[in-house]
Structure 1
Amino acid sequence: MFEKKIFIQNGEENKRLDKFIAFKLNISRNKVQQLIQNNKIYLFNKIVKDNNHTTKINDLYHINIPIQEHHFSIVPNINIPITVLHEDQDIIIINKAPGLTVHPGAGTKNDTLVNGLVAHYGSSLSYIGKASRPGIVHRLDKDTSGLMVIAKNEHSYYFLSDLLLKKQIKKEYIAVVWGVPNPRDNIIKNHIDRKSNNKQMMTVTHSKNKGKLAITEYNTTKIFANIASLVKCRIYTGRTHQIRVHMSHIGNSIIGDQKYGKNESKAIKYAEKSTIINTLKRQALHAHKLGFIHPTTNTYIEFNSDIPKDIQTLLNELEQLTGA
């Protein structure tokens, strides 16, 4: 049994309990409802029996979560490439390859990062989150490469999920975008929601009542004439496709992005002189820095990942193309 305590602070009152706990602990709402049905959630010393229970300031909840037996409904796949940069008894830091989906879903079952993690680590992963995502605290898009932290036990999973919720995990990316951002350094702050006519895509919405708040800080570090720019992006929220949507929204979509590209004319013009731009198989986006407080030592740790070969090749060619 694993116990988690949640203290209701100012601004967290009048929330439906099952939704609130699911959000706080990064687990499914259905799982929270099962915990309520099984008398595993207490308000102070009294069992909570109602899914519709609402929170009040200064409430203290005790959630007793049974540690599940590790049955592998996920098919292990030893052929999935996993590059480990750091590992200890609590966490694994990996450098995810581009083209690799993080966890099983519709159309992708046996060839994901999770299939590889199960093959290499099995029961040493945290199984406290969603059943299809053992150890997964946060995700990267399939065609985005770079750093991820994997939780190996329940304490680490909840500790890191809490840091994520409080925006205390430093996540920095490098991206190669079309054109030159104006201004060159800025913070983009707006709401992102799913497109009404295409649920697989996200879009900026100008209504605060729709979508979720998304905050991206970007800094332009190099300009290749007026063709393209190298930018560093730090995200303070973790919305689906956030950087890709934000850079596209300001008119500087990421080179190679097939979903959110808005600069086809530049792509056509310069692809004729290029051996990489029109053949790049993914968006030029890489999670290159990850920093957080360690779940056990309580010290800040930070990891860096070099620019991958395909993006470096793109940068080299842009330099030659523009004489930068």
Structure 2
Amino acid sequence: MPFWAYMLHCRGGAYYTGHTDDLDQRVSAHRSGNIAGFTSDKLPVELVWSQEFASRQEAFEAERRIKGWSKAKKQALIRGDWEGVSRLAKSKDGPSAGSGRAELIEGVISASSRLDKALAEATDLSRERIKGLIADGAVEVGGKRASSPSTKVAAGAPFTVRLPAPTPLEAEPQDIPLVVAYEDEHLIVVDKPAGMVVHPAAGNRDGTLVNALLHHCAGQLSGINGVERPGIVHRIDKDTSGLLVVAKTDSAHEGLAKQFADHSISRRYIALCAGQPKPAQGTIDARLGRSDRDRKKMAVLPPDATRGKHAVTHYRTTDSFGVASILECRLETGRTHQVRVHCASIGHPLLGDPQYGRDPKALRPILEKLGFRRQALHAASLGFIHPATGERVDFQADLPRDMAELIDEIAR
């Protein structure tokens, strides 16, 4: 089965790199805007380079290398100018992402604009990346260190951007046991244990679900989300247990991503919260976004907020013990920390969740006795239309032992 690494030229002059097992279908999906993580502001797009490889890993490697190249080096590749690629690789303007060397980008502002916008257009870096580099003191304009992304800069102003040496972050296959609820040639559904991170990131380079999947599936995972998150269509928090579906092929990934985007995926969580929600069942419709006070946390935002995302959780109390209750939560949307923040917002935070609440004093001895140190949340069921067969499929995962023991102790 052949695989391709490819590059698109997007609106505004930016380049997008990826890899796939079906180039025609992938490019068509990009052009229609129906692909996860590819926003409409990149349209229209044009396929400017592609190369076929014998294995997905080789295509991964090509994507990873090219993604970190400077714009000049990418343009040399598009022209087929291999001497130019080689020359730029040895110069200060074009080391590859895997070189382990810092990169210096120099140039002049082409048109008067905000600094972050002007540099994004000139360097092919995102505006968010530019803002971070400015905050790190890595940007100079006219020989002076830049301090604000919103500063107005004039056309012709010289600039220097110092990119730190990249840290390679390739997910390596690791023989980590998995609980597989279902598997075929298109996708795999796993019951993730609490404590396992879904994909590698800073501070969690191995021992993740992706590392385990690369071993289990022999590297045959969708490449839509790149080398760091192969096959990952959605996520659940590190300390949440339960079901995830992972795509093995790009077509399966696209079919699943569309269902997540239009909220047709069925997701049911079991949660153990503090107190007794009143009413015993209801709907929490509250917009979620990053907290102004702590950027690592999510928060409920005003209904008229221009940032954040619409979020809806339907809950039902299935049992109550006075000091705590078992909730069944059905997600209409799937936002970061959604159940945790929504439950906390109505005064009933999840047990064991220090980020969004405090455990009831009466329950602290039980939590300490059991060593229960994670949010009491489990993704118990997952249902969707199989992207290859068109059939409805539903999966269930029993409560993990730690949550079952906690419920038994509280119920006594």
| Range class of TM-score, shorter chain | 0.7 to 0.9
Q: Structure with the greater relative contact order (CA < 8 A, sep ≥ 6): 1 or 2?
A: 1
Does the Cα contact within 8 Å between 2:367 and 2:373 map onto a contact in 1? no
Question: Which of 33, 45, 68 is equivalent to 1:36?
Answer: 45
Q: Structure 1: which 5+ residue stretches go unaligned?
A: 7-16, 41-63
The answer on whether the counterparts of 1:222 and 1:230 sit within 8 Å (CA) in structure 2 is yes
2:58 corresponds to 1:27: no
The answer as to whether partners of 1:93 and 1:148 remain within 8 angstroms in 2 is yes
Q: Which residue of 2 aligns with 1:70?
A: 57
The alignment of Structure 1 onto Structure 2 pairs a total of residues equal to 277
Partner of 1:271: 364
| Amino acid in the other structure paired with 2:363 | Y
The match for 2:393 is 301
The equivalent of 2:180 in structure 1 is: 84
Describe the SS at the equivalent of 1:211: coil
Determine the structure 1 residue equivalent to 2:218: 122
Whether the 8 Å contact between 1:28 and 1:130 is mirrored in structure 2 is no
Q: Can you list the C-alpha shifts for 1:147-175, whole angstroms capped at 9, x where unaligned?
A: 00011101100000001101111010000
Q: 1: distance between equivalents of 2:221 and 2:348?
A: 39
Deviation readout 1:210-236 (Å, 9 max, x if unpaired): 210001000000010x20000000111
Q: Per the alignment, do residues 34 and 134 of structure 1 end up closer, same or farther by CA in structure 2, a change over 3 Å counting?
A: farther
CA–CA distance in structure 2, aligned partners of residues 222 and 33 of structure 1 = 48
Identify the residue that residue 46 of structure 1 maps to in structure 2: none
TM superposition shift of 1:269: 2.5
Contact 1:127 1:154 in 2 (8 A): yes
1:3 aligns with 2:100: no
> Counterpart in 2 of 1:222?
319
Q: 1:70 to 1:315 in 2, by over 3 A?
A: same
Query: SS where residue 123 of structure 1 aligns?
Result: coil
Take 1:317 and 1:77, find their aligned partners in 2: how far apart are those partners?
36
Contact 1:277 1:314 in 2 (8 A): no
Alpha-carbon separation, structure 1, partners of 2:298 and 2:364: 27
Indicate the percent of aligned positions where both proteins have the same amino acid: 36
Change (3 A) 1:66 1:269: farther
Deviation of 1:28 after TM superposition, in Å, equals 5.2
- Contact 2:370–2:406 (CA under 8 A) maintained in structure 1: no
Which string of whole-angstrom CA distances, capped at 9 and with x for unpartnered residues, describes residues 44-97 of structure 1?
xxxxxxxxxxxxxxxxxxxx998884246322221x331111111111010001
Q: How does 1:1-324 map to 2 (within 5 A)?
A: 1-4=23-26, 5=28, 21=33, 24-27=34-37, 36=45, 38-39=47-48, 69-71=56-58, 73-78=170-175, 80-206=176-302, 207-224=304-321, 226-261=322-357, 263-264=358-359, 266=360, 268-272=361-365, 274=366, 279-320=371-412
Q: Which residue of 1 aligns with 2:120?
A: none
Q: Is the 8 A contact 2:181 2:190 kept in 1?
A: yes
Q: Look up the equivalent residue of 1:27 and give its one-letter code.
A: G
Give the equivalent residue in structure 2 for 1:43. Answer: none
Q: Distance in 1 between matches of 2:272 and 2:233?
A: 26
Question: Deviation at 1:271?
Answer: 2.4
**AA paired with 1:89?**
E
TM-score (norm 2): 0.63
Cα distance between partner residues in 2 of 1:190 and 1:149:
26
1: CA distance between counterparts of 2:387 and 2:208?
26
Q: 1:252 to 1:159 in 2, by over 3 A?
A: same
Question: 2: CA distance between counterparts of 1:160 and 1:180?
Answer: 36
Query: What do residues 93-130 of structure 1 show as CA deviations (whole Å, max 9, x unaligned)?
Result: 10001000000112111121111111221331111223
Unaligned runs of 5+ residues in structure 2 are 1-22, 61-169
Give the deviation of 1:196 after TM superposition.
1.4
| Equivalent position amino acid for 1:190 in 2 | A
1:55 match: none
User: Do the aligned partners of 1:87 and 1:93 also contact (CA within 8 Å) in 2?
Assistant: yes
Larger-gyration structure (1/2): 2
Task: Tell me, yes or no, if the aligned pair for 2:352 and 2:367 is still in contact at 8 Å.
Answer: no
Residue 116 of structure 1 aligns with an amino acid whose one-letter code is A
- The question of whether the paired residues in 1 share the 8 Å contact of 2:233 and 2:253 is answered with yes
RMSD: 2.7
Deviation readout 1:7-27 (Å, 9 max, x if unpaired): xxxxxxxxxx99x93xx4113
User: How far, CA to CA, are the matches of 2:194 and 2:393 in structure 1?
Assistant: 24
Contact 1:147 1:289 in 2 (8 A): yes
State the alpha-carbon separation in 2 of the partners of residues 238 and 65 from structure 1.
Answer: 36
